[in-house]
Amino acid sequence: MLTEMLPLGFELNTIAIAGASLWSLALYLGFSPVSEWVMQQLNRWFNFAERSLYTSQSEFEKTKKARESQNAFYASLFSIVPFLVIGALLNWGVEISLGRSWAISMGILACIGSGVYELGRRDGQSSD
């Protein structure tokens, strides 16, 4: 695997990765308006930061549509990072207090609960 090809020996804790991923998915689904807000703010910041790289207005306008699409893609990828960090902390807290098997089990329950909540929230929005 990957750890065998690298010269430095390190071990990946797959249970911690799975637990943190489950918790971060639950947080991402449960707080989807927050994730949309984070994505919009990152997109605004990427567009602003990229504008400062161009000295010519014509060159900036020429590639504007492609760059904005690329920045939206990067913003959607980077909007996951805060949820991964908080999910890892939640997983660590449950692991410390209840044990590893409970961290995975509660992560699965949190994913199911937040998924049902998100479906109900979107259904409520569409009926208005």
The residue length of the chain stands at 128
Q: Looking at the predicted structure, is the pLDDT value of residue 116 above 90?
A: yes
Distant-in-sequence, close-in-space partners of 38: CB < 8 Å, separation ≥ 6: 79, 82
In this prediction, residue 1 carries a pLDDT of: 58
Q: Which residue has the higher pLDDT, 32 or 127?
A: 32
- Encode burial over 25-37: b for 16+ CB neighbours within 10 A, e otherwise: bbbbbbbeeebee
Q: Which residue has the higher pLDDT, 83 or 7?
A: 83
State pTM to two decimals: 0.78
pLDDT in tens, 57-75: 777 777 778 888 888 999 9
- In angstroms, the CA 90 to CA 72 distance is 28
In this prediction, residue 49 carries a pLDDT of: 84
| Average pLDDT, integer, range 77-88 | 94
Do residues 12 and 3 make contact, with C-beta atoms less than 8 angstroms apart?
Answer: yes
